[in-house]
């Protein structure tokens, strides 16, 4: 089989050391051979190992006695293999997690009321709501519901911390006033 490999015409196709390869004809200037990746063997011939896509192209040509590699062939090969082995399109990460957001919001709203009756359950509910929100934010970063929930949680944490400080101060003040009576 004869192969025209870009500017190097009439290359011969053979297997060398178990891998498909092209052998340049004699008389081709060495700078052109070097440009296309041909290397000199011990016997003086110039050889180029075909890559997987180039080999499949030659194999697909079947029994034709002449195979041409040029820019259009290269584009076709790349297009074909890109369509075969292209990575999957990115997952739209804005749609998922809405159910988790709804559960998280319900827990966030319900847990303060539970705190008065069942404090342990109320706190666990709040923590579960927080964990669900974090799962949504980590898995679906573009989910707007998750973002709103995160802001609500940050505000809730800040309000609880400030409230705890104020309650402690108020209790202390009341105790001091009572002791003065």
Partner 1 sequence: MNIHICTDHGLIPPYAVMLLLSLAAGLGVQFVLNRRDGIKQNIAAYGILLAPPMIGFFALLHTQIASGGKALGLSSIGGAVGMYASALTMAAISRRRESIGIMLRSCTLSLPIMYSISKIGCLMGGCCRGVDYSGVMCVEYSGERMGHLSAFPVQIAESAAFLVIFIIGMIMYARGRKNAAVAVIFLMSAAAKFALDFLRASHAGKMVSPNQLLCAAAVAVFIAVMAVQTHRKHSISERAYN
- Report if residue 120 touches partner 1, rule: CB under 8 A: yes
- Report if residue 34 touches partner 1, rule: CB under 8 A: no
Contact stretch for partner 1 (CB under 8 A) within 22-30, 42-50, 65-73, 167-175: 167-175
Q: Taking a C-beta distance cutoff of 8 angstroms, is the pair 114, 125 a contact?
A: yes
Smallest gap from residue 138 Cβ to partner 1 (A): 5
- Report if residue 151 touches partner 1, rule: CB under 8 A: no
Q: Of 78 and 174, which has the nearer Cβ to partner 1?
A: 174
CA–CA gap between residue 64 and residue 50 (Å, rounded): 18
Helix or strand (DSSP H, E) at 11: strand 8-16
* Binding residue for partner 1, selected from 5, 46, 126, 140, defined by CB under 8 A: 126
Per DSSP, the three-state class of 60 is helix
* Binding residue for partner 1, selected from 154, 155, 159, 174, defined by CB under 8 A: 154
- Report if residue 130 touches partner 1, rule: CB under 8 A: yes
Q: Taking a C-beta distance cutoff of 8 angstroms, is the pair 126, 107 a contact?
A: yes
* Binding residue for partner 1, selected from 99, 151, 169, 174, defined by CB under 8 A: 169
Chain centroid to Cα 140, Å, comes to 13
CA–CA gap between residue 18 and residue 30 (Å, rounded): 25
Tracing tokens 């159910």 back to the chain, one arrives at 99
CA–CA gap between residue 140 and residue 91 (Å, rounded): 10
Q: Of 148 and 154, which has the nearer Cβ to partner 1?
A: 154
Chain centroid to Cα 149, Å, comes to 26
- Report if residue 57 touches partner 1, rule: CB under 8 A: no
Q: Which residues bind partner 1 (CB under 8 A)?
A: 120, 123-124, 126-127, 130-131, 134-135, 137-138, 141, 150, 153-154, 157, 161, 164-165, 168-169, 172-173, 175-176, 179
């Amino acid at each position: 089989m004869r192969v025209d490999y870009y500017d190097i015409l009439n290359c011969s196709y053979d297997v060398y050391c178990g891998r498909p390869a092209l052998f340049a004809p004699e008389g081709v200037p060495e700078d052109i051979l070097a440009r296309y990746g041909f290397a000199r063997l011990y016997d003086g011939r110039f050889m180029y190992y075909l890559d997987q896509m180039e080999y499949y192209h030659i194999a697909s040509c079947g029994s034709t006695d002449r195979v041409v590699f040029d820019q259009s062939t290269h584009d076709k090969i790349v297009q074909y293999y890109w369509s075969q082995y292209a990575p999957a399109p990115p997952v739209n990460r804005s749609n998922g997690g809405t159910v988790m957001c709804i559960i998280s919001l319900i827990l966030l709203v319900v847990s303060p009321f539970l705190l008065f009756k069942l404090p342990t359950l109320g706190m666990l509910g709040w923590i579960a709501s927080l964990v669900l929100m974090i799962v949504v934010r980590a898995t679906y970063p573009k989910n707007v519901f998750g973002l709103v929930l995160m802001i609500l949680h940050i505000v809730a944490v800040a309000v609880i911390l400030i409230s705890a400080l104020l309650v402690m101060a108020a209790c202390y003040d009341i105790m001091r006033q009572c002791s003065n009576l």
